[in-house]
Structure 1
Amino acid sequence: MSKSGGAFTHVDLEWFMYMPAHFEENRPEVLHRLIGEQPLGALITNGPNGLDANHVPFELDVAPAGGVILRAHVARANPVWQEAATHPDALVIFQGPTAYISPNWYPSKHDAHRQVPTYNYMVVHAHGRIVVRDDEAFVRGLVARLTRKMEAGEPVPWKMGDAPADFIAQMLGAIVGIEIEVTRLVGKWKLGQNKAADDRRGAAETLLARSSDEQQAVGQAMLDAPPVL
């Protein structure tokens, strides 16, 4: 963002994440899978009042040629969709499972005591530009698809037809669709790849023994990720 003659003018923004090479995950199918499993994204924009964050579920659309589009809706009262006309640059962060790692879980700690606590995690940053889709057909189709996906695990899935048509029309009128054509996907899988094999295995097995699904997911990912050392 620059200021000239008292007025703000748009410039392209670049968002970066610290990325040691051993934590980089660039396989498209792996990145797409995390987005599909963790659709609630943090939409980061830089509007006229500075940085803004909105947390909304996204639909992931991957074209046969590999292009990626993210679709979502926001409240009509939310200024983010109006600001997108002049500030379209966006970053969407999808957070996968995370887990705290204690130094006590590394076998080498008990010999040399040269380990410290850390957090392991998996995250995808999606870069692109917002296009506003303020039309009823787009929003209705998007809401229907998101609902089918989110309700799929329910014994009796809720569907839009369960509610009165006038009520659904009123609700749809209160939201606006947005579409982001993704220009860059960045994945960071911080899973102890820089640790010795025994230490990494010790921490992973400790997580797998815990009752939390999230801790177990990180433990399994640690075992699955290729080591550096």
Structure 2
Amino acid sequence: MYIPKAFAVTDLDALHGLIEQTPLALLVSQGEQGLQASHLPLLLKPDEGEFGTLYGHFARANPQWRSLAAGAEVLLVFQGADAYISPSFYPAKAAHGKVVPTWNYQAVHAHGRAEVFEDRERLLALVSALSDRHEQRRERPWAVSDAPTDYIDSMLRAIVGFALPISRIEGSFKLSQNKDAANFQGVQQGLQQSERPTERQLAQAMAALPPDA
């Protein structure tokens, strides 16, 4: 990923934070059929390995898991909030007009090679943990154990799991850090007034930046 110095994020906690906030990742690998990509929910175990380990599963019918089993390198893309930045946000537009549109965003890329697994108990633990993570905020959370055992067994036979120790991780949080204070504040205020929740989320991320960012 091309990352200008002003937008580079190296703090592992910050990178893990965006991963945790991203419910669906893009997994890309190279296989016999060329480049393949799948959108998958993943589970991060931050304390496993140098940069953490990611867990997920494919539908068995999805041939991409075979490229992982063959040892292909994997790229995982975690896309956070993003927003179009209008030149009208900048006070500089009125001062001299030398401004153009851009796009702000947060993204993390993780790389590694995965271990594929198919045993029932490990798959059951994985899907249970994924379900618990996304059900926990519900008033009456659903659990895998709510479904009949024979039905769950049939579902487990239809998937293939993987564990991917992260070997390299990089992040780009493009939040107008390269602008002067007045234009930075103009962008932040413009996003705060947006009707899009993700754009207001990006304004909050700008507000959380350290003063010397």
Could you say whether these structures have the same fold, taking a TM-score greater than 0.5 normalized by the shorter chain as the test?
yes
Q: Distance in 2 between matches of 1:64 and 1:19?
A: 26
Provide Cα deviations, 1:72-128, integer angstroms capped at 9, x if missing partner: 000011111122233420000000111111000101111111111111000000010
Residues 47 and 90 of structure 1: is their aligned pair in 2 closer, same or farther, counting only changes over 3 Å?
same
Residues 67 and 108 of structure 1: is their aligned pair in 2 closer, same or farther, counting only changes over 3 Å?
closer
Alignment of 1:66-145 (within 5 A): 66-145=50-129
User: What SS class does the counterpart of residue 42 from structure 1 fall into?
Assistant: strand
Report the counterpart of residue 203 of structure 2 in structure 1.
Answer: 219
Q: What 5-or-longer segments of structure 2 have no aligned partner?
A: none
User: What SS class does the counterpart of residue 179 from structure 2 fall into?
Assistant: coil
Q: Mean Cα displacement is larger for which, 177-186 or 214-223? A: 214-223
Q: Distance in 1 between matches of 2:78 and 2:54?
A: 12
Contact 2:74 2:112 in 1 (8 A): yes
Q: Distance in 2 between matches of 1:30 and 1:130?
A: 23
Which AA in structure 2 matches 1:49? Q
Q: Distance in 1 between matches of 2:97 and 2:208?
A: 26
Percent identity among equivalent residues?
39
What is the root-mean-square deviation in Å for CA atoms of aligned residues?
Answer: 1.6
Report the counterpart of residue 42 of structure 1 in structure 2.
Answer: 26
Report the counterpart of residue 210 of structure 1 in structure 2.
Answer: 194
Q: Does 1:51 align with 2:41?
A: no
Q: Does 1:29 align with 2:13?
A: yes
Q: CA deviation at 1:225?
A: 2.5
Report the counterpart of residue 161 of structure 1 in structure 2.
Answer: 145
- Relative contact order, CA 8 A, sep 6+: which one is greater? 2
Q: Mean Cα displacement is larger for which, 212-221 or 22-31? A: 212-221
Provide Cα deviations, 1:177-224, integer angstroms capped at 9, x if missing partner: 011110011010011111111001011011112232211111121233
Which AA in structure 2 matches 1:109? K
Provide Cα deviations, 1:9-55, integer angstroms capped at 9, x if missing partner: xxxxxxxx111111101111111111111131100101112111100
TM-score, normalization by structure 1: 0.88
Q: Distance in 1 between matches of 2:197 and 2:118?
A: 38
Report the counterpart of residue 136 of structure 2 in structure 1.
Answer: 152
Q: Mean Cα displacement is larger for which, 198-207 or 215-224? A: 215-224
Contact 2:7 2:174 in 1 (8 A): yes
